[in-house]
C-alpha cells in the first residue's frame, strides 16, 4: 500500500511544485536509494528488467531511484530533466496476465530513464504497456501478490495521473493539488486515453459502444474497481486524509509541511475487522483489545494504527502487513532547480529526510549492503534496528524524538536550499563538494540514530503480546537481535 501526492504552484509557499511519496511494502523488504548516471548505448543492446529483457534505447538520462532491493525498477524516482514519478498498486476487475511482462516499477524506471517531460513519460509507459503488458509477481515474500498500476507524474510545468487497467490506460491532468492511493481515482474526467480503453468492459458487457462504434466516456472508477481489495487496503480513507491535510495548507505548503503529511497517522484509530475464518478473527480481534486500551491515552501507538494511516506501520500478518519502508520528497523550483529529500529508511514518523543531488556523479548511499538479513554496515538495516527498538517505547519517546528530528531536518533543508541557490549563481561548488555536503547530512543523521539506538538499548522494552510477538518473529528471521 502506498500514497503519492503533488502540490502545484498555487498550493506551495514559494510557487514550486512539490512531489512526495511513501512506499509501503513488506516490513523487512530493504528499500534502497541508488544513483544511475546518464549513459549511451550501442544499437541493438538490451536491458534486463525484473522479469523480461527488452531493447535498450540509445541514451538514458541520469536518475535517482528509491526501490525494493530485489527489483530492477523503482517505487519512485526523479531524473535530470526534473521528471518525477511514483506508482500505486490498484486493484481492478481485469485479470492479471499469466505471461511475465513489465511490472509497474519497471515501467516507471524506464520512463524516468527515457523522458524529458511528463508528456514523454506517459508516451513511454503507453508504448511499453501496449507491447509488453503488466505481468509478474510484485511481492517480496508474498509470491501471489500482483496488481495493476497508477502513476503520478510531474515535471517543472505540469503534473498528471496515469492509470493502467491491464493494457488499457487513461490520463488526467492535475491543476492544483492531487493525491493517489491504492484505488482507481479517475472517473469520466480523463483527458486522454489508450485506443483500446473500455475493450475489456465491453467484452464483459459492463458498457456499450455508441452508434459511431466509439466508446462513450466511461466512469473508470465505477466500471473497473475491484471493491474487496480496494476497501481493505484503506485507500479511500488515506486518500481523503491526504487531501484534507493538503487543503488545510493551501498556498502555504513547503517541504517540512509535506513531510508532516507523510508522517500522518489517521485520527480514527479503530482498526478494521473483517469476516474471516475463526482463527483469523481471533488474531484480528486483538486489534480491538489494543484499541480499547489505547483510549486511555490520546497519543498514537503503531500497535493500534490501521490501513488508513499515511505513515503505515505493520502489526500483523492478516490485514496490517504493510510498512512504510521508504519516503521521498522532490521540490521542483520555479527557477528549474531539483531538490531531493529521502529517508532511505522505514517509518517516516521516526526517520529523517536527507538531501540528495543530481548532476554530481554519485550519492552517499553506497554502503547499503542490501540483503535479506541485518547488516551493521547497511543504512537501512541500521535504522531498522532503531525502528524496532523504538516501537517498544513509542509513546514514551516520540515527542522528544520528534522535536530533535525536526530541528535537524530543518537544518538540512535550509542548508541544501542555500547550497543549490548559491551554487547556481556563483558556480562555486565542485562536484566533490556537493557530494561531501550530502554525505555530511547522512552522517549527521546516522550519528543521531546511533545515539538513539544506544539510549533505547539500555531501556527495558515494553511488550504488547501479539504485536511484540509479530515484530520479534520478524527480527529473528532478519537476524536483527
Three-state DSSP state, 12: strand
Query: Is the pLDDT higher at 382 or at 362?
Result: 382
Going by pLDDT thresholds of 50, 70 and 90, the confidence category of residue 284 is: very low
Contact call for residues 29 and 324 (beta carbons, < 8 A) = no
Number of H-type helices and E-type strands within the chain: 12, 18
Going by pLDDT thresholds of 50, 70 and 90, the confidence category of residue 82 is: very high
Three-state DSSP state, 350: helix
Per-domain residue ranges of the chain: 3-455
- Count of beta carbons in the 10 Å neighbourhood of residue 335: 10
- Report pLDDT digits (tens) over 323-378: 999 999 999 999 999 999 999 999 999 999 999 999 877 788 766 666 789 988 88
Going by pLDDT thresholds of 50, 70 and 90, the confidence category of residue 299 is: low
Q: What are the two backbone dihedrals, phi and then psi, of residue 357, each rounded to the nearest 5 degrees?
A: -135, 140
Mean residue pLDDT of the chain comes to 88
pLDDT at 116: 98
DSSP 68-95: ETT-SS-SEEEETTS-EEEEEEE-BSSP
Q: In the beta sheet, which residues pair with residue 85?
A: 77, 153
User: What H or E segment, with its residue span, contains residue 168?
Assistant: strand 168-173
- Count of beta carbons in the 10 Å neighbourhood of residue 432: 11
- Count of beta carbons in the 10 Å neighbourhood of residue 202: 15
Q: DSSP secondary-structure letter at 383?
A: H
User: What H or E segment, with its residue span, contains residue 65?
Assistant: strand 63-68
- Count of beta carbons in the 10 Å neighbourhood of residue 447: 11
Closest residue by Cα to residue 128 from 220, 217, 194, 203: 194
pLDDT at 42: 96
Going by pLDDT thresholds of 50, 70 and 90, the confidence category of residue 292 is: very low
Contact call for residues 332 and 25 (beta carbons, < 8 A) = no
pLDDT at 300: 76
Residue with grid cell 509541511, as numbered in its chain: 257
**Has residue 272 got a pLDDT over 60?**
no
Rg (CA), the chain: 22
**Has residue 59 got a pLDDT over 80?**
yes
Contact call for residues 111 and 84 (beta carbons, < 8 A) = no
pLDDT at 461: 79
Question: Residues 309-329: what's their mean pLDDT?
Answer: 92
In terms of residues, how long is the chain?
Answer: 481
> What cell numbers appear for 415 in the block?
542548508
**Has residue 248 got a pLDDT over 50?**
yes
pLDDT at 377: 84
Does the domain spanning 3-455 belong to CATH 3.90.420.10?
Answer: no
Closest residue by Cα to residue 170 from 157, 188, 144, 148: 188
**Has residue 296 got a pLDDT over 80?**
no
pTM of the predicted protein model: 0.92
What are the start-end ranges of the H helices in 75-151?
Answer: 104-114, 118-132
Residue with grid cell 525502528, as numbered in its chain: 387
pLDDT at 423: 59
DSSP 418-475: HHHHHHHHH----HHHHHHHHHHHHHHHHHHHHHHHHHHHTSPPP--HHHHHHHHHHH
- Report pLDDT digits (tens) over 32-41: 999 999 999 9
- Report pLDDT digits (tens) over 116-168: 999 999 999 999 999 999 999 999 999 999 999 999 999 999 999 999 999 99
**What's the start-to-end Cα distance of the chain, in Å?**
27
Three-state DSSP state, 405: helix
Going by pLDDT thresholds of 50, 70 and 90, the confidence category of residue 283 is: very low
pLDDT at 466: 84
pLDDT at 349: 96
User: What H or E segment, with its residue span, contains residue 223?
Assistant: helix 220-224
- Count of beta carbons in the 10 Å neighbourhood of residue 28: 21
Question: Residues 434-442: what's their mean pLDDT?
Answer: 90
pLDDT at 455: 95
The percentage of the chain sitting over the pLDDT mark of 90, rounded to a whole number, equals: 73
Query: Is the pLDDT higher at 267 or at 192?
Result: 192
Query: Is the pLDDT higher at 465 or at 399?
Result: 399
The percentage of the chain sitting over the pLDDT mark of 70, rounded to a whole number, equals: 88
Residue with grid cell 544513483, as numbered in its chain: 35
User: Is 441 in the active site?
Assistant: no
Q: DSSP secondary-structure letter at 136?
A: S
Region class of 422: left (phi > 0), else alpha (psi between -120 and 50), else beta: alpha
**Has residue 274 got a pLDDT over 60?**
no
**Has residue 195 got a pLDDT over 60?**
yes
β-strands 31-36, 63-68: how paired?
Answer: antiparallel
Closest residue by Cα to residue 165 from 213, 187, 119, 198: 198
User: What H or E segment, with its residue span, contains residue 241?
Assistant: helix 235-248
Q: Which residues contact 304 (CB under 8 A, 6 or more apart)?
A: 269, 271, 287, 290, 291, 293, 294, 315
Closest residue by Cα to residue 148 from 165, 161, 169, 170: 165
Lowest pLDDT segment from 286-295, 330-339, 341-350, 388-397: 286-295
Going by pLDDT thresholds of 50, 70 and 90, the confidence category of residue 209 is: low
Amino acid at each position: 500500500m502506498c500514497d503519492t501526492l503533488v502540490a502545484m504552484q498555487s498550493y506551495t509557499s514559494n510557487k514550486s511544485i512539490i512531489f512526495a511519496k511513501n512506499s509501503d511494502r513488506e516490513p523487512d523488504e530493504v528499500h534502497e536509494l541508488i544513483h544511475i548516471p546518464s549513459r549511451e548505448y550501442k544499437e541493438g543492446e538490451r536491458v534486463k528488467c525484473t522479469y523480461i529483457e527488452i531493447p535498450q534505447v540509445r541514451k538514458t538520462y541520469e536518475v535517482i531511484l528509491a526501490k525494493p532491493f530485489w527489483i530492477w525498477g523503482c517505487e519512485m524516482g526523479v531524473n535530470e530533466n526534473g521528471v518525477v514519478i511514483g506508482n500505486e498498486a490498484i486493484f481492478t476487475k481485469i485479470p492479471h496476465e499469466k505471461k511475465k511482462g513489465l511490472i509497474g516499477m519497471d515501467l516507471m524506471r524506464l520512463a524516468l530513464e527515457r523522458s524529458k517531460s511528463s508528456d514523454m513519460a506517459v508516451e513511454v509507459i503507453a508504448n511499453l504497456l501496449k507491447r509488453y503488458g503488466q505481468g509478474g509477481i510484485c511481492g517480496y515474500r508474498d509470491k501471489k501478490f500482483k496488481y495493476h498500476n497508477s502513476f503520478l507524474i510531474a515535471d517543472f510545468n505540469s503534473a498528471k495521473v496515469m492509470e493502467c487497467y491491464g493494457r488499457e490506460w487513461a490520463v488526467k491532468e492535475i491543476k492544483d493539488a492531487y493525491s493517489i492511493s491504492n484505488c482507481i481515482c479517475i472517473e469520466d474526467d480523463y483527458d486522454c486515453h489508450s485506443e483500446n480503453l473500455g475493450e475489456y468492459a465491453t467484452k464483459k458487457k459492463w458498457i456499450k459502444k455508441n452508434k459511431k462504434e466509439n466508446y462513450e466516456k466511461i466512469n473508470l472508477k465505477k466500471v473497473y474497481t475491484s471493491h474487496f481489495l480496494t476497501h481493505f487496503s484503506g485507500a479511500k480513507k488515506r486518500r481523503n486524509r491526504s487531501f484534507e491535510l493538503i487543503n488545510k495548507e493551501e498556498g502555504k505548503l513547503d517541504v517540512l509541511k509535506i513531510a508532516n503529511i507523510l508522517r500522518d497517522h489517521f485520527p480514527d484509530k479503530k482498526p478494521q475487522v473483517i469476516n474471516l475464518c475463526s482463527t483469523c478473527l481471533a488474531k484480528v480481534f486483538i486489534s480491538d483489545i489494543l484499541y480499547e486500551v489505547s483510549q486511555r491515552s490520546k497519543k498514537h501507538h503503531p500497535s493500534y494504527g490501521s490501513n488508513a494511516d499515511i505513515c503505515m506501520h505493520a502489526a500483523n500478518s492478516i490485514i496490517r502487513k504493510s510498512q512504510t519502508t521508504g519516503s521521498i520528497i522532490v521540490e521542483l523550483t520555479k527557477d528549474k532547480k531539483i531538490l531531493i529529500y529521502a529517508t532511505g529508511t522505514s517509518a517516516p514518523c521516526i526517520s529523517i529526510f536527507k538531501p540528495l543531488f543530481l548532476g554530481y556523479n554519485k550519492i552517499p548511499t553506497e554502503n547499503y549492503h542490501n540483503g535479506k538479513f541485518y547488516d551493521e554496515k547497511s543504512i537501512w538495516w541500521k535504522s531498522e534496528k532503531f525502528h524496532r527498538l523504538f516501537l517498544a517505547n513509542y509513546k514514551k519517546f516520540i515527542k522528544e524524538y520528534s522535536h530533535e528530528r525536526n530541528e535537524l531536518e530543518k537544518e538540512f533543508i535550509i542548508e541544501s536550499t542555500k547550497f543549490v541557490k548559491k551554487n547556481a549563481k556563483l558556480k562555486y561548488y565542485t562536484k566533490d563538494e556537493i557530494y561531501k555536503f550530502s554525505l555530511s547530512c547522512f552522517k549527521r543523521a546516522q550519528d543521531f540514530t546511533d545515539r538513539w539506538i544506544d539510549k533505547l538499548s539500555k531501556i527495558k522494552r515494553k511488550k504488547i503480546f501479539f504485536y511484540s510477538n509479530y515484530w520479534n518473529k520478524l527480527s529473528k528471521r532478519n537476524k536483527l537481535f
